[in-house]
Structure 1
Amino acid sequence: MRDGFVNRVREAPGLMRGWLLFHRDLDPGTPEVPEVLRFQQAAREADIDLSVLHPHHFELVVGREEGWDVGYEGQPVARPDFIICRTGAETDYYTLALLRHFERCGVRLINGPAAIERVADKLHTLQCLSRAGLPIPRTILDTFPVDVDLVERELGFPVIVKTLKGTRGAGVLKCENRSQFEDLAGLLESAEAKADFILQHYVRASHGRDVRVLVVGGRVIAAMERRSLTGGFKSNVSLGGIGSAYNPPPEMAELAVRAADVLGLDVTGIDILFDEDGYRICEANSAPGFQGLERASGLDVPTAILRWIISTQDLALPASAANESDTLVNMAFGGRSGLRAISDRNSEYRAFSSAVGLRLIAAGMACLGHALGPPLLVDPRSRTGSGLRALYEGRTSADLPTLGDSEQERTLVVVLAVGIWAAILPWLAGAQAEVSGALSLMALSFPFLFMATAPSGRLRSSLSARMRREGR
C-alpha cells in the first residue's frame, strides 16, 4: 500500500480490464473519492477488472523498441482494454504525457489528453466553442492594468470574474458594479496576483440556476437543473445548491452534444445557462461530478458509462476518429489525394466539375447498392461499406459549421440559386420531358437537403439575430 492506494494492478484473464486514473489518495473525505469508489462497485457488477491507479506512480520510458513497456510502482503491467481519466481540470503535465503515451500505444482513452487539456483551460474551451459557432457568454481575458472602460463597454455590470482553472464553483465571483470591480482589480494588481483571470458577461436570465447535461458517447443520458437556495448566483450542488431532474428541450440537448463533439469529449458534463433568447454554454468538464446528478435523476452514472464502453469497445478506434468530411471524401474520391489527382488531371474548371460530379453520382449509387443489394453481394470491407459503417456507428467526429449567421444565410441563398438554375438547365438544353423532370427534381432536392440537415436552430437563431439588429 502506498499513499493510501489500496488497489493493485490485477491480471484476471478473460475479463475486460480497465484502469481509472485518479490523482489523490483514496480518502473517503475527499469530494471526488466516493465517485471513484462508485466506479469500482459498478465495474465489479459488470464483471470488469477496474484498477484505480495514481498517474504519478507509473514508470514511463520512451524510446524502447517494445510496443508496450509500462511499469507501475516498480512492476510491469499488462496493457488494459481502456483507461478512464478522472483528474479533470487538475490534470498536470505528467498525467498528460502519460496519456499521450498510452494513446500512441493504441489504448482506448476516456477522455483523451487533447480533450482534457482543451477543457482544463476555460478560455480555450470558450474559444473552441465560439469558433464552432456555439453560443457562449461574451468573455475577456484579463490583463493588468485592467481597462475598466473596456470591461464596462463590452460586458457591462455586473460582471463575472473567473480563474482559468477551477472546479466545483471555486475561483468564481461576481462584481455588482464598476466601483466594486475597480476595488477588486486594484487589490489583485497590488498583490501581484499570479493567477490568470477571465471576465464574463453576466447572464441575468440564468441567475442562480443552470443545467448540467451529461453526454456519453455523443448522446445525452441525463440532466439536472441546479438552483441556488441562498439567492446567490452560483448554483453548484457542491456549494449548497439543489439539483432536480430535468428533461432538456431538443435545442438544449443538441447544443450539449455539439459542444461535446467540438471539444472531443466522450464523457462530459456540459453546463448550460438560460439566456433571454435561448441558451449559452458556460463550461465543460472532462471528469464531471455526478453525485448530485444521480440523486436528482436516479441514474446509475458509472454503470451507464461502463455499459457504453462495453457496447462500443469493439468499434472503438485506437487513434482519434476521422472527421465526417474526411470519411465522405474517402468514400467518393478515395481520399483527399484522390481529389487532388482529379484536379491535376483536369486543368479546366468544367472538366474538373464534370469529373467530380460523376464521382459523386457513382458514390451515391454505391451507397444505394449497399441499401438495396442482397447482403451476400455487399462487401462491408469495401471503401463504401467501411465508410458507411463508420458514419452509421458514430465512429467519426462531426465537422460542425464555423460560419456565422450571415455566412450561413449567404450559403443557403447560393445553394438555392444553383439548385434552381440546375433545375431549369435541362429544359433549356431541350432534353426529353422525362429526363428533364428527373434532373430538375434531383437539382431542387439539394436546397431542401441543405435546410433539412442544418444544425438545430441555425436558421431560427439567424432570424432572431436579424430581428434584434433591426430592433423588432
Structure 2
Amino acid sequence: MVMTTHHFLLHSAALILIFLTRAPDCNALALIRPSVDKKVWMLGNRNTSMEYERDRFLEEAQKKSIDFTLVHSSEFHTVVSGPGADRGSIIYKNEAVSLPDVVLARTGSGTGTVSINVLRQFERLNVPTLPNSASIEASMDKMYANQILAQAGLPIPKTMLARLPETSAELVQKVVGFPCVLKVVTGSLGKGVHLCHNAKEFENLSEMLCSV
C-alpha cells in the first residue's frame, strides 16, 4: 500500500484481505452490556454520513431502555483544575451537566484536537470512553497504525509512505509491486482509496491527484 500529503499509503494488493461487515449493526452490540437506566452519550460530528450509524445505535438503545444522547465536540467546554482541587469539569451547551456512564466516540476521520481533548477530559473524570482517546489518535494516522501493528508482530501488507508526485512508479514497483492500493493517510468510510493495477495507472492517478 502507498500513502501521500499529498501523502498516501501504498499496500501490496495481493496481501490485502477485505472483510465486508455491517459495521453499524456490529457497533450497536456495544449497547447490550449496559443495564437499564444507564446514560450513554455518543460523541459525534455533524457529518451526515454518520446518520445511519447514529440511528442504529439509537434503535438498539431504545430496545434496552438506555438513555442515549448524541452530543457534539464543538459544543463542549472542558475545565481543568490545579493540584489539590477536583479533577475538573465538563460543560455542554454552556450548562454544567451530570456525567454519562459511558461515552461512545464516533467522530471518524474528522476527529481533531477538540474531540480528543473532550475525550481525555471524560477519561480524567473516570468516564469510560469507547474507544479511548489514545486508540483514536493512533488510528487517525494510517501509517502510524500500521507501524503499531507491525511492532506488535501482526501480519500487515507491505506498506510504504509515498509523496506525490515525487514517488515514482519505478520505486513503487521495486518496493511494493503492482497491483497496489493507494490511499490517503487520514480518512475513513472507504474514501480516498484507489486500486492501481500497473505503473501506468499509478502515474495517471498521481497526476490527477496532484492537479486537484
Choose the corresponding residue for 2:185, options 164, 173, 176.
Answer: 164
SS of structure 2 residue aligned to 1:43: helix
What's the counterpart of residue 99 of structure 1? 119
Aligned-residue offset at 1:118: 1.0
What's the counterpart of residue 40 of structure 2? 18
What's the counterpart of residue 61 of structure 1? 79
SS of structure 2 residue aligned to 1:157: coil
Is the counterpart of residue 42 in structure 1 residue 35 in structure 2? no
Query: By percentage of residues, which structure has more strand?
Result: 2
Is the counterpart of residue 130 in structure 1 residue 150 in structure 2? yes
Unaligned 5+ residue runs, structure 1? 1-13, 194-472
What's the counterpart of residue 419 of structure 1? none
Aligned-residue offset at 1:23: 0.6
Is the counterpart of residue 150 in structure 1 residue 150 in structure 2? no
Query: By percentage of residues, which structure has more helix?
Result: 1
The total of aligned residue pairs comes to: 174
Tell me which amino acid in the other structure corresponds to 1:19.
W
Distance 1:51 1:188, change over 3 A: closer
**Percent of matched pairs sharing the same residue:** 34
SS of structure 2 residue aligned to 1:24: coil
Is the counterpart of residue 113 in structure 1 residue 133 in structure 2? yes
Deviation track 1:109-142 (CA, whole Å, cap 9, x = no partner) reads 1110110111122111111111111111111100
SS of structure 1 residue aligned to 2:163: coil
SS of structure 2 residue aligned to 1:174: strand
Tell me which amino acid in the other structure corresponds to 1:171.
G
SS of structure 2 residue aligned to 1:31: helix
Which structure has the greater CA radius of gyration? 1
SS of structure 2 residue aligned to 1:142: strand
SS of structure 2 residue aligned to 1:136: coil
Aligned-residue offset at 1:187: 4.3
CA–CA separation in structure 1 for the residues paired with 2:207 and 2:62: 54
CA–CA separation in structure 1 for the residues paired with 2:76 and 2:202: 45
Choose the corresponding residue for 2:70, options 29, 47, 52.
Answer: 52
Distance 1:68 1:45, change over 3 A: farther
What's the counterpart of residue 13 of structure 2? none
Tell me which amino acid in the other structure corresponds to 2:161.
L
Question: TM-score, structure 1 length as denominator?
Answer: 0.35
**Comparing 150-159 with 35-44, which one deviates more in the overlay?**
35-44
Distance 1:19 1:157, change over 3 A: same
Question: TM-score, structure 2 length as denominator?
Answer: 0.74
Unaligned 5+ residue runs, structure 2? 1-35
Contact 1:89–1:121 (Cα < 8 Å) also in 2: no
What's the counterpart of residue 175 of structure 1? 196
CA–CA separation in structure 2 for the residues paired with 1:47 and 1:184: 50
Tell me which amino acid in the other structure corresponds to 1:163.
V
Aligned-residue offset at 1:20: 0.9
